[in-house]
Homo-oligomer: A and B are copies of this chain.
Amino acid sequence: MAKEAAGRARPGRAPAPAGRRARPRQAEVAGLAGVSQATVSLVLSGRDIATGRPISAETRAKVLDAARSLGYVPDPAASRLAAARNNLLGVFSFTATFPTDVRHSYYPFLVGVEQEAAAQGYDLVLFTGSSTGGAGARGAGALNRVRLADGCLFLGRHAPADELSRLVADGFPVVHVGRSDEPEGLAWVGADYVSASREVVAALAGLGHRRVLLVREDDDAPASADRERGFLDGLAASGLPGGPGAVFRSGDPRRELTADRVRAWLAEGVTAFVAEETDTGAAWRALRAAVDGAGLDCPGQVSLALLGSPPADLADGPVPMGFDIPRPALGAEAVRLLAARIAGGPAEGTLVACAFRPGATAGPPATP
């Protein structure tokens, strides 16, 4: 190449967006220290020692002095470009509820996610519109935005399997928070609803209950299926009657959960009710409303349990028997798994145990 220093207009960058200048680069540090840019990079990144690259103490000192005196700070964009990774983890949520509700289920995860991400040296990218179910989450290919990060966490009961499978197939590191078999090869961390639900039934059986009924929503998320399975397992383990008659699906307008219906169940010998928790808390609300409507005393005349934590707006009532989902722990575990996947680890599923909560809504069955 010939005439450069001459008056040739050169392509490439424009003359710098006014105001943004003055940041010293490694090249300038190198000039001041009288070494090459490569040496500066080696010294400043400490890669000289780590990789057995020998750099004399004298050179090190010169470079460090020069860097300090110029106030050098590395440009993260450049570092990340050169290193082919950006230390960014994505967070994307499919929970389509308004922010006020989301606050209660989404944020506890985030607490754990953030702590563990910090521990692993990652920053987080929140894909906007995802937690609010807004425009950002819509449209085919919207999920592709997440490829910007080194890997991504997905939250929510109903993940779009087809969209996800594309990412998984491409080998993009993905971890779903919540058990999921849908896209083959998807890594996930989930709460162990089966064991936890079984434990709740066992506790009720231990109190003397012989007929227990599950109220669940008419919705087929894995989380609901797991609770039902644990519930039925628990009945079987305690020798109690199971089968379809032990499960009531609410949500259907023709099968409303009314006070009358509750009275009818009691007449049939049911002494305890178990509701599943979801992000809306609908099943638990309906159950409580029906029991209150029937004027029943709890736990005097009827025992109640909730397979999860009560929604925040019902927090003032008596603490229900049930279990707590360790959301921060789940978030942290998800980050660990994701970091492992980014490093080339396998796509496995992990269950995290829930904590049993005795509560104050269950007692011995009433003797008629």
What residues of chain B lie closer than 8 Å to A170, measured between beta carbons? 20-23, 71
Would you call B21 and A171 a contact (CB within 8 A)? yes
Would you call A132 and B118 a contact (CB within 8 A)? yes
Closest to A342 in B: B20
Partner of A77, one of B13, B148, B167: B148
CA distance A16 to B131 in the complex (A): 33
What residues of chain B lie closer than 8 Å to A166, measured between beta carbons? 71
What residues of chain B lie closer than 8 Å to A78, measured between beta carbons? 77, 81
CA distance A82 to B123 in the complex (A): 22
A77, A147, A148: most-surrounded residue (chain B CB, <10 A): A77
Would you call B134 and A115 a contact (CB within 8 A)? yes
Would you call A117 and B107 a contact (CB within 8 A)? no
Size range of the chain A interface in the assembly = 35 or more
Query: Taking the complex as formed, is A17 at the interface, i.e. its CB lies under 8 A from any CB of chain B?
Result: yes
CA distance A135 to B116 in the complex (A): 11
What residues of chain B lie closer than 8 Å to A245, measured between beta carbons? none
What residues of chain B lie closer than 8 Å to A169, measured between beta carbons? 22
Closest to A136 in B: B118
Would you call A76 and B147 a contact (CB within 8 A)? yes
Interface membership of chain A positions 72-115, coded 1 if the CB is closer than 8 angstroms to chain B and 0 otherwise: 11111110111011101000000000010001000100010011
CA distance A145 to B86 in the complex (A): 11
Would you call B128 and A125 a contact (CB within 8 A)? no
Query: Taking the complex as formed, is A317 at the interface, i.e. its CB lies under 8 A from any CB of chain B?
Result: no
CA distance A166 to B23 in the complex (A): 10
With A123-B127, A147-B73, A171-B21 as contacts: A115 and B86 at CB distance below 8 Å: no
How close is A195's CB to chain B, nearest CB, in angstroms?
Answer: 27
Query: Taking the complex as formed, is A124 at the interface, i.e. its CB lies under 8 A from any CB of chain B?
Result: yes
What residues of chain B lie closer than 8 Å to A265, measured between beta carbons? none
| Chain A residues proximal to chain B, CB less than 8 Å | 13, 16-23, 68, 71-78, 80-82, 84-86, 88, 99, 103, 107, 111, 114-115, 117-119, 122-129, 131-132, 134-136, 141, 144-145, 147-148, 166-167, 169-172, 316, 328, 342-344
**Which 8 residue pairs spanning A and B have beta carbons closest together?**
A19-B344, A118-B128, A118-B129, A21-B171, A19-B171, A77-B80, A124-B126, A73-B147
9 more CB-based (< 8 A) A-B contacts, given A68-B141, A76-B145, A107-B107: A16-B84, A18-B344, A19-B343, A20-B85, A115-B132, A118-B132, A119-B135, A122-B128, A123-B125
Listed by A's residue number, 14 A-B pairs whose Cβ atoms lie within 8 Å are A17-B344, A18-B344, A19-B171, A20-B85, A20-B171, A71-B147, A73-B141, A73-B144, A74-B148, A75-B148, A76-B88, A76-B145, A86-B148, A123-B125
